């Protein structure tokens, strides 16, 4: 096994990866920016290196410096976490050119899934269902009109270089299409430097359900069930759970097989996630593939007993997947709440500051993946995710009650958080009934 791994990230995910390494007897190397000198991941790692000033572009995205630290420290592999450089094919290539192992997929697979219209074409050829629409970029308004009238309104325009919801535009009729097309193209250029857009049929009241996959470098691919991630605000997930209340064993098998086919079609290796959009009639369609470990991976771990981060490391080292599909068994239910430093009274804007008091909950089935500690100051430079609280129960109701109790007994002072939102959401009849659509946050406000 690797003797030393560099963790090219910060916050809770860096801490999570360091924990996996420690459990495997691997020495850990942290990197940090000037704003993160006292951060938890720096304290947890065996060694830590300054990589640059606070802005990510000069620190956590500073490829030259990160490679230099890996070489200087004698790290044999780099775990990128999520975000930052995790899905950057140029970074993966640089890592490999320096004789270092990237703990993640091969760069070709990442490249293939980075352009969303290209990903749709690949999935269509692989027999994975995609939302009706184009597998070629749309280059003019006339073409957009033609395609939209063929698939029927409403339609959604998306940036090919985008993903995660940024720049998307809905058009409910031909009159709305012109503005939507221009806006989408403009945003695609502004945000991603690539004006390429494509069109899909707009699915009303969808759920976002994703399948976790694990693939080794020897051709073995399995899926590790679904996560329901429909509860989001501004395209940012806030509550996730596994299993989904609407996925039957038969649907799980079909979605799982589609996800495995998706991974196989691009020679995927390591942990990955195939995102599907699921309509109210439970038709499912490929949306995107995330070629990284995801924030919400703990709900899969808690319901299967499979440590996904340890498998990432073993797979990168070249080990064969010792798990067969029939070894993946669901045990109980898990719910994750993302605890953000956000001010609910200011439209959930980030709320940095010093954490003057911090008491995490305890109890059967409760897991906290935190990136902060009492006395530390949350800075405005990075994602405001403080921690993830995960509750496991023998069934959904037990997990829900445990989560509400855990949220209620958490003490965070000095900064504002979204804990109150979570308590409201988990206590809401729509959540209790499992009516978790992507419109949940709105539905909750409009209830009765």
Binding site for ligand MV4 (CB under 6 A): 131, 156, 164-165, 168, 200-203, 206, 235, 277, 287-288, 438
Q: Angle at Cα 270 formed by Cα 18 and Cα 298, nearest 5°?
A: 50
Nearer residue to ligand MV4 within complex by CB, 144 or 203: 203
In the complex, the smallest distance separating the C-beta of residue 203 from ligand MV4, rounded to whole angstroms, is 4
In the complex, the smallest distance separating the C-beta of residue 261 from ligand MV4, rounded to whole angstroms, is 20
In the complex, the smallest distance separating the C-beta of residue 418 from ligand MV4, rounded to whole angstroms, is 18
Nearer residue to ligand MV4 within complex by CB, 297 or 402: 297
CB atoms within 10 A of CB 249: 8
CA distance 9 to 139: 37
Q: Angle at Cα 361 formed by Cα 355 and Cα 365, nearest 5°?
A: 140
Please name which of 188, 174, 8 lies closest in space to residue 82, comparing C-alpha atoms: 8
> CB under 8 Å to 330, separation ≥6 — which residues?
225, 242, 243, 303, 304
* CA neighbours closer than 13 Å in the CB half-sphere of residue 33: 18
Nearer residue to ligand MV4 within complex by CB, 132 or 361: 132
Bridge partner list, 138: 197
CA distance 80 to 5: 10
Bridge partner list, 29: 6, 47
CA distance 203 to 445: 22
Please name which of 220, 133, 115 lies closest in space to residue 124, comparing C-alpha atoms: 133
Q: Is 187 a catalytic residue?
A: no
In the complex, the smallest distance separating the C-beta of residue 205 from ligand MV4, rounded to whole angstroms, is 9
Pick the catalytic residue: 292, 314, 338, 396? 292
Residue linked to tokens 């009109």: 145
Within 268-346, residue ranges assigned H as helices are 297-304, 308-317
In the complex, the smallest distance separating the C-beta of residue 344 from ligand MV4, rounded to whole angstroms, is 20
DSSP 285-299: EEEEEE-S--TTHHH
In the complex, the smallest distance separating the C-beta of residue 201 from ligand MV4, rounded to whole angstroms, is 6
Contact 112, 291 (CB under 8 A): no
Nearer residue to ligand MV4 within complex by CB, 206 or 365: 206
In the complex, the smallest distance separating the C-beta of residue 378 from ligand MV4, rounded to whole angstroms, is 26
CA distance 353 to 252: 43
Q: Which helix (H) or strand (E) holds 338?
A: strand 333-340
Nearer residue to ligand MV4 within complex by CB, 165 or 353: 165
Nearer residue to ligand MV4 within complex by CB, 192 or 317: 192
Nearer residue to ligand MV4 within complex by CB, 392 or 440: 440
Active centre residues (catalytic): 292
């Amino acid at each position: 096994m690797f003797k030393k791994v560099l963790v090219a990230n910060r916050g809770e995910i860096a801490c999570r990866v360091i924990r996996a390494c420690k459990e495997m007897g691997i020495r850990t190397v942290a990197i940090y920016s000037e704003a993160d000198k006292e951060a938890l991941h720096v304290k947890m790692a065996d060694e830590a290196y300054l990589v640059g000033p606070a802005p990510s572009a000069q620190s956590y995205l500073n490829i030259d410096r990160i490679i230099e630290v890996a070489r200087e420290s004698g790290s044999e592999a780099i775990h990128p976490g999520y975000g930052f450089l995790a899905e950057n094919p140029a970074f993966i290539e640089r890592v490999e050119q320096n004789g270092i192992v990237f703990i993640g997929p091969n760069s070709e697979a990442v490249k293939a899934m980075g352009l969303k219209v290209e990903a749709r074409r690949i999935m269509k050829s692989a027999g994975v269902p995609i939302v009706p629409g184009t597998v070629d970029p749309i280059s003019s308004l006339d073409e957009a009109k033609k395609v939209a009238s063929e698939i029927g309104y409403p339609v959604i325009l998306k940036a090919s270089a985008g993903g995660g919801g940024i720049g998307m535009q809905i058009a409910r009729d031909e009159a709305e299409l012109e503005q939507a097309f221009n806006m989408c193209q403009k945003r695609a250029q502004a945000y991603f430097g690539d004006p390429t857009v494509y069109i899909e049929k707009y699915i009303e009241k969808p759920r976002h359900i994703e399948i976790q996959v694990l693939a080794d470098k020897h051709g073995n691919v399995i899926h590790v069930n679904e996560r329901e991630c429909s509860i989001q605000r501004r395209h940012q997930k806030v509550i996730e759970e596994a299993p989904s209340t609407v996925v039957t064993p038969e649907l799980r098998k079909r979605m799982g097989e589609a996800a495995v086919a998706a991974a196989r079609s691009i020679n995927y290796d390591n942990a990955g996630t195939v995102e599907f959009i699921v309509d109210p009639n439970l038709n499912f369609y490929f949306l995107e593939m995330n070629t990284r470990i995801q924030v919400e991976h703990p709900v899969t771990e808690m319901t299967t007993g499979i440590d996904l981060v340890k498998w990432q490391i073993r797979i990168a080292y070249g080990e064969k997947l010792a798990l067969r599909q029939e070894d993946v068994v669901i045990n109980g239910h898990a719910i994750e709440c993302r605890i953000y430093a956000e001010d609910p009274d200011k439209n959930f804007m980030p709320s940095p500051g010093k954490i003057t008091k911090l008491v995490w909950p305890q109890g059967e089935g409760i897991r906290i993946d935190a990136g902060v500690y009492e006395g530390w100051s949350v800075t405005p430079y990075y994602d405001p995710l403080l921690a993830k609280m995960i509750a496991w129960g023998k069934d959904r109701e037990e997990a829900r009650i445990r989560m509400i109790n855990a949220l209620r007994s958490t003490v965070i002072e000095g900064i504002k958080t979204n804990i109150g939102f979570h308590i409201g959401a988990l206590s809401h009849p729509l959540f209790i009934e499992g009516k978790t659509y992507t419109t949940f946050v709105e539905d909750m406000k409009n209830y009765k």
